[in-house]
Amino acid sequence: MRYQQRQAVAVGLLVTAVLVHSAAPGPAGSRAGGEPPVPAVAQQNRMHRVVHQLQQRLHAVPQDQDSWAQLGASYVELARVTADPSYYAKAEGALKNAGDTGLAAIGMGTLANARHDFHAARDWARKAITALPRSAEAHGVLADALTQLGDDAGAQDAVQRMLDLEPGTASFARASFHFELHGDVDGARDAMHRALAAAATPEEIAFCRYRLGELAFDHNRLDDAAQHYRQGLAARGDDMALTQGMAKVAAARGDVPAALDTYRALVARAPLPQYLQEYAELLEAGGRHDEAARQYEVLTEQQRLMEAQGASDDLAAALHAADRGDGVQALRRAEAEWSRRQSVFVADAMAWALHVTGRDAEALAFSDRAVSLGWQNATFSYHRGMILAALGRVAEAQEALVRALRLNANFSPLQALKAGRKLAELRGGR
């Protein structure tokens, strides 16, 4: 994954899954006992059936607040699996009809996290905890929001409380991300294995395998990554995230045509910004600039559509603009995000945007903040290396660039190439 700040929010979608499964009829919440894999298209169809059944229920019993909350959660999940941000407004409407309940507050917090409105998510989570103090899901929403807001101690407390209440897949997954953010890769891996051991549905198994695959991919362990992605696909045969993982592995192994074919199918099915950017970068790295430009245009349009539905993401937009050399846009977006939250993710975006605009002394101060937790992140190290090189601190720049490539030589189809070129330039003394 090009930028891993999305992981905490992705973990938060497990909360949505809990709410959605509670809405499903019959034995749908207990499919771990040998049912076949659930393709992503089948998942969309199942979600639409759940929505239809809830709508029928609410037509008959319009005062059923729990069903309104479950309908809202289902719309948040549909927004994720279809990449259609119009479901956010539907989710908000349903959750408002759910009244002043703890379950509704959990749903509103999950929706706010999905929209990257992390202050609102924090407030909704606290409201949910007041109503349902022993709800692990509510503490999970709080952990996700505080992680993204840069409240590291608060996020740790929320994760610990979640573990105390319900040591299951969602809580261990959050613990894993907390370990990873602090540079404890072994601890992160162990926590994800515990999450996998607790997984009770094909969706949870697929999610855990994806995260284990990401941990492996992000640390140059391609064979392990591919094995986890494949095992996840065995649980849920057409999962988009796992399919994207296999595309990354194919590209890293040099099978670029297979990777491009997979990305082409992915963005046709779900034009998620992450997939669009990775696809465009792979095209550009291969010299297919016109095709890459078209994907960048789609990416810009998709970001616009998401913002129109209240899902602003200045962080991703800042990084995209900086990578494309648009320093003015990058800095404007990064500063807007920094004004809302001061996490390590946004500190790195500020550093990169300032570097692109030539303000490297200021950039280094933000880079210092970005690496303050100890996260072993190849992108952070690459950005830091380029900033140090611009400041003439050659030895430190080489060290940072070597670290980036040792961590993950395939962290980005384009930026990894630039890291290698800059490292060769520095070593050659040119």
The CATH number of whichever domain residue 373 belongs to comes to 1.25.40.10
> Could you tell me if residue 282 is inside a domain?
no
Residues sharing a CB contact under 8 Å with residue 328, sequence separation 6 or more, in sequence order: 357
On whether both 14 and 144 belong to a single domain, the answer is yes
On whether both 217 and 343 belong to a single domain, the answer is no
Name residue 148's amino acid.
Q
> Could you tell me if residue 423 is inside a domain?
yes
On whether both 248 and 338 belong to a single domain, the answer is no
On whether both 119 and 207 belong to a single domain, the answer is yes
403 vs 380: CA distance, rounded Å: 10
Could you tell me if 379 and 387 are in contact, meaning their C-beta atoms sit under 8 angstroms apart?
no
- What is residue 13's predicted lDDT score, i.e. its pLDDT? 52
Host domain of residue 209:
6-253
Show which of 207, 226, 253 is a domain's final residue. 253
> Could you tell me if residue 314 is inside a domain?
no
- What is residue 430's predicted lDDT score, i.e. its pLDDT? 54
- What is residue 226's predicted lDDT score, i.e. its pLDDT? 98
> Could you tell me if residue 313 is inside a domain?
no
On whether both 247 and 339 belong to a single domain, the answer is no
Other Cβ atoms within 10 Å of 221 Cβ, number: 15
> Tokens representing 169?
């897949």
- DSSP letter for each residue of 233-244: HHHSTT-HHHHH
- What is residue 17's predicted lDDT score, i.e. its pLDDT? 53
Rg (CA), the chain: 21
- What is residue 110's predicted lDDT score, i.e. its pLDDT? 95
> Could you tell me if residue 183 is inside a domain?
yes
On whether both 241 and 336 belong to a single domain, the answer is no
On whether both 40 and 168 belong to a single domain, the answer is yes
On whether both 230 and 373 belong to a single domain, the answer is no
- Cα–Cα nearest to 193, from 175, 178, 181: 175
> Is the pTM for the entire model greater than 0.95?
no
Number of domains comprising the chain = 2
Show which of 202, 233, 253 is a domain's final residue. 253
Show which of 231, 253, 275 is a domain's final residue. 253
> Could you tell me if residue 261 is inside a domain?
no
> Could you tell me if residue 269 is inside a domain?
no
239 vs 262: CA distance, rounded Å: 12
Taking 50 as the pLDDT cut, the residues of the chain under it are 1-6, 8-9, 21-39
240 vs 245: CA distance, rounded Å: 9
On whether both 46 and 138 belong to a single domain, the answer is yes
On whether both 248 and 125 belong to a single domain, the answer is yes
- What is residue 308's predicted lDDT score, i.e. its pLDDT? 83
On whether both 234 and 92 belong to a single domain, the answer is yes
On whether both 118 and 14 belong to a single domain, the answer is yes
> Could you tell me if residue 302 is inside a domain?
no
Other Cβ atoms within 10 Å of 134 Cβ, number: 11
